[in-house]
A and B are shown apart, each in its own frame.
Chain A
Amino acid sequence: MAVIGFFIFTWDSRTGTVLKSKFPTDINLSSDILMKIYQAHAYEEGGGFISLTIGALNVASYLIEDEKYYFSLLLSIEEDPDTYEDALIDAAKAVMNDLYEDRYVALLPSIFQRISIYPRLEYEQKLAMIYLDLEKRYILDRLVDDGSSTVTELLGWLKDKTNKKFIDIDSILSSLVKLGLVKVVSVKGLTSDSVFLIGDIFITRIPATSSIVQIKRYNLPEKIVNDYLDETRSFFAKYVPSIEDNEIICKAIVNPDVFKILKVLRMTPMTARGIEKMKRKVEDLNEAIKILWNSGLIRILKDKQGNEYYFLKSDIRIEKFFPSYLIDTIRKSYNNQTIANHVLIEHLNILKEEYLSNYHKKSQIAYAVEEVEFE
Chain B
Amino acid sequence: MLREIYILRGSEVLFWRQYGNSLKWEDIAPIFLSIIKTLENDTFSKKDTNFMTIGRYKITYISFLELNLFFFMITDLTDNDNDLQAQINVLKKEFLELFEEIIPTVNNPEIFESFNPIADKIHKDLRPKIALVGFSGVGKTTITRLIRAEEIPMTHVPTLTGEIVTVKIGKLFFNLWDFAGQESFSFLWPDFIKDSDAVLIVTDSQLKNIDESKFFIDLIKTEVPNARCGVIANKQDLPNAMPPEEVSRIFNLPAFGMIAVDTNNRAKMIKIIAEIMDISEQISPLLKPLIERDKEMEAAEKSLKEGDLLSAANHLTAVANLSFELGDDSEIGTELLNKANLLRQHLGISTGTDLSSSKNIPSREEQLEIQKIRKQIDSIETQIADLELQRQRGLISEAEYGEKTANLKREKEELIKKLKFQ
Contacts and interface: CB of A to CB of B under 8 A. Distances in A.
Interface of A: 9, 11, 13-21, 25, 29-32, 35-36, 38-39, 42-43, 45
Contacts, number: 53
B158 to A, nearest CB: 14
B188 A18 contact: no
Nearest to A31: B395
B345 interface: no
Interface in B383-404: 389-390, 392-395, 397
A14 B175 contact: yes
Given A13-B195, A15-B127, A35 B161 contact: yes
A15 B389 CA distance: 8
A270 to B, nearest CB: 45
B195 A39 contact: no
A21 B393 CA distance: 11
Interface in B176-224: 177, 185, 187-188, 191, 194-195
Contacts of B177: 16
The 4 A-B pairs of least Cβ separation, nearest first, read A19-B394, A35-B161, A13-B195, A14-B127
Contact of A19 (B188, B389, B393): B393
- Which range contains the number of B residues in contact with the other chain? 20 to 34
Contact of A36 (B161, B392, B397): B161
Contacts of A43: 187
B87 to A, nearest CB: 13
A32 B163 CA distance: 8
Interface of B: 80, 127, 129, 160-164, 175, 177, 185, 187-188, 191, 194-195, 389-390, 392-395, 397
A42 B188 contact: yes
A15 B395 contact: no
A16 B191 CA distance: 9
Contacts of B161: 32, 35-36, 38-39
A18 B191 contact: no
A21 B390 CA distance: 14
Given A15-B127, A39-B188, 5 more contacts: A14-B195, A16-B175, A19-B393, A25-B397, A35-B161
A38 B191 CA distance: 11
A20 B392 CA distance: 10
Residue among B161, B187, B195, B389 facing the most chain A CB atoms (10 A cut-off) = B161
B129 to A, nearest CB: 5
Given A31-B164, A35-B162, A39-B161, A15 B392 contact: yes
Contacts of A39: 161, 185, 188
12 contacts: A11-B191, A13-B195, A14-B195, A15-B175, A15-B389, A15-B392, A18-B393, A18-B394, A19-B393, A25-B397, A31-B393, A39-B161
A43 B395 CA distance: 24
Contact of B393 (A13, A17, A36): A17
A13 B194 CA distance: 6
A92 to B, nearest CB: 17
A17 B177 CA distance: 12
A15 B388 CA distance: 11
A341 B302 CA distance: 93
B396 to A, nearest CB: 10
Contacts of A11: 191
